[in-house]
Structure 1
C-alpha cells in the first residue's frame, strides 16, 4: 500500500472457501488491489495452508498486502497487525467466520465503515439463522479479552448495525441481514470450467465430510454402496475432507471400488484443472455441492438424503430447499 492515509479494505480468511469468497467480494465491491490487506488467519492444518497458498497465487492477491497469522507466532503477529491497522481507515472489512473469536477480534476492535460476512460453507446458513434468533453475542472469553489487552487490542467496538452477507447461497434479505449474491465470476475467469479431455475415463466423485459422529463410517458405507449400484462399473473417486483420515476411510470402504484421494487443492480447482469428465458428484451435505453446481452446471450434482444423519444437522429441511433452488438433485438413501 502506497498511501497510508487512503482507505483500505481488509479481508480475513482461514479456509480455502473463505479465500475464494474474499476474491469474489474484492471484485464485486471494486476494491483496488493496492488498497487491500489480506489476513490469512490461523489455518487449522498444513493441508489447509497449502491449498490457501495456491489460491493466493492463482486468484491474484500478490499485488496487495498479505499478513500471515500462523499458529506458531499467532499472538506476536496479531499484535503487530493491530499496531499496523491502528492508523488506517478501513472502508470495508470482509470476515470469513462469524463464529470464530479470531475473526471477531477484527470487527469488534478495528474501526471500519462496513462489515461484510463472506461465505464459510454451510455454516453460513447457520450464522444467518443465529443472527435472526439471538443477534451477535460475543464469543471472546474473559481470559481472551485480558490476553488481547496485554497485546494492546481492546475489543470495544459495537456490532455492526447493517449486517451484510456476500454469498452464493439463495438466502433472502431481511430486516436484519442484507444479502448480496454472486455466482463465482472470478473463479470462472481464473479456471477453465467447461473444457474436458474426452480421452480420459469418465469418473464419479464423492465429497467427504468429517460429520456424523460414531455412526459416520457406517452411514458412509451405505452411501457409497448406493453410488456403486447407481453407476456399476464406474470408477468412484472419494475426495477426502482435509480433516478426514485416509487409513480410517480405506478400512471402512475396503469392499468398494473407491479411490480415496486427498486432492491437495480445493475440489473446485481440482475439477477445473484435472481435465477429467465427471458424470456426477455425490455427498450428504458438503458445501461443494453448491459450488460445483454453480461453477460446472453441466455436471450432475446429487445430495444423498440420509435420514440418520439428517437428524443431527440443524436447518436440514431448509438446506434441502436450498439444494433444490440451486438445481441440485436429492435422492433418498434406501437401506433395504
Structure 2
C-alpha cells in the first residue's frame, strides 16, 4: 500500500532536517508519495527565514507542510503538543532529524509504536548512532553531560525517547544519512545521495575562485574567536578565498570582524548550503573546516568540477573548556570524509 501524508509524519526544526526529509521521501516513497511535515521553528530569524524558503520547496515537491510555533511564550508549547498528540499516535512512520533535541524527545515519548526514520541534521548523526550503539544517554558532542534538577526531571522522558529510537521486533528503525556512521544492530542505514537536489537543481556555474564555508564552532564555545578570525585571514591570503558562506548561527559581530580583518565577502545563504552550492555560482574550490559539508558537498557537487577541501584545526584554537571527546569527534569528521570521498586536506593555519 502506498504511503499517504497522514501515514508518515515528519518533524523539522532546521532547514537541513527539512531538506533531508525531502531527500528521504524522494528516495523511499513511490512517485507522488507525500509526507506531512510539521515545522517547529526556533526563535532565530535567520533559521526561520531559511525554513520558510525550504518549506516552499518542500510544498512544491508534493509534501504537506505545517508551520507550528512550538516555542513562543508559555502557551505555545502545550498548544502545539495538544494538536500533534493525535497524529503522533496514529502515524505509522515518524521521520525525525535531531534526536538530541529535548522537544523532539518529548514528542517521541508521546508517539505510538510507529517505525522511526532518522534523517541527517549535520554531523550529530554520527554521534547519535555511536551513542545509541553503546547504550549511552544522548548528549551533543560539544556539550558536557547535563546535570542538575532540570536534567533529572527530564530524564524519564529522554529514556522513553531513546527506547523509541531502538529497533525492536515489530518496529523498524532507519537512519538515512550522508555521514559515515557505525552499524546499529537491527537498524537499516540508507545512503543519502542527494538525488532530489541533484535532479532538481544545477549543475552550477563555477566562479574559478575559492569559497570558504563558515562554521558556528566559535558560537558553540569550541573555538577561540581571535584564532578563528586569524585562520580565515590566513586562508584568504594563502588560498585565494574571497567569499565566506556564513553559517546561520554565526554572530553578526564575528562576521563583521571577518570582513574587516580577513577581507572576505560575507554571503548569507537563504537555503541549506547544499542547495545553494548546487544552484550556483560556486567556487571551483570549496574550503571547509570539519563540518557536515565535507560529507555532503562532495555528493552534491560530484561531476561539476568543483573540488571540496578540508581545512585542519590547530589544537591551540580550542577554548579551555573543550574536552578530548569534542576534539576527537571533529578529527573523526575529517578523517572519515578524507577516507570516504578522497578529499584534499590543508594543514591548519598557524
Q: Does 1:313 align with 2:312?
A: no
Corresponding residue for 1:151? none
1:282 maps to which of 287, 291, 300: 287
TM-score, normalised via structure 1 length? 0.81
Corresponding residue for 1:323? 337
Greater helix percent: which structure? Answer: 2
Which piece of structure 1 moves more, 130-139 or 105-114?
130-139
2: CA distance, partners of 1:66 / 1:24:
15
Query: Structure 1, unaligned stretches of length 5 or more?
Result: 149-154
Q: How does 1:146-225 map to 2 (within 5 A)?
A: 158-162=163-167, 163-175=173-185, 177-192=187-202, 194-196=203-205, 202-212=208-218, 213=221, 215-225=223-233
Corresponding residue for 1:267? 273
Corresponding residue for 2:117? 116
2: CA distance, partners of 1:135 / 1:32:
38
Corresponding residue for 2:321? none
Deviations 1:269-325 (CA, angstroms, capped at 9, x unpaired): 222334x24121122112122221110122111111113257543423422221111
C-alpha change, 1:31 and 1:92, in structure 2 (3 Å) is: farther
Query: Structure 2, unaligned stretches of length 5 or more?
Result: 140-145, 168-172, 319-323
TM-score, normalised via structure 2 length? 0.78
> 1:164–1:179: 8 Å Cα contact kept in structure 2?
yes
Shift of 1:14: 0.8
1: CA distance, partners of 2:247 / 2:164:
33
RMSD over aligned CA atoms reads: 3.2
C-alpha change, 1:35 and 1:184, in structure 2 (3 Å) is: closer
C-alpha change, 1:196 and 1:211, in structure 2 (3 Å) is: same
Greater strand percent: which structure? Answer: 1
Q: Does 1:242 align with 2:241?
A: no
1:79 maps to which of 82, 91, 95: 82
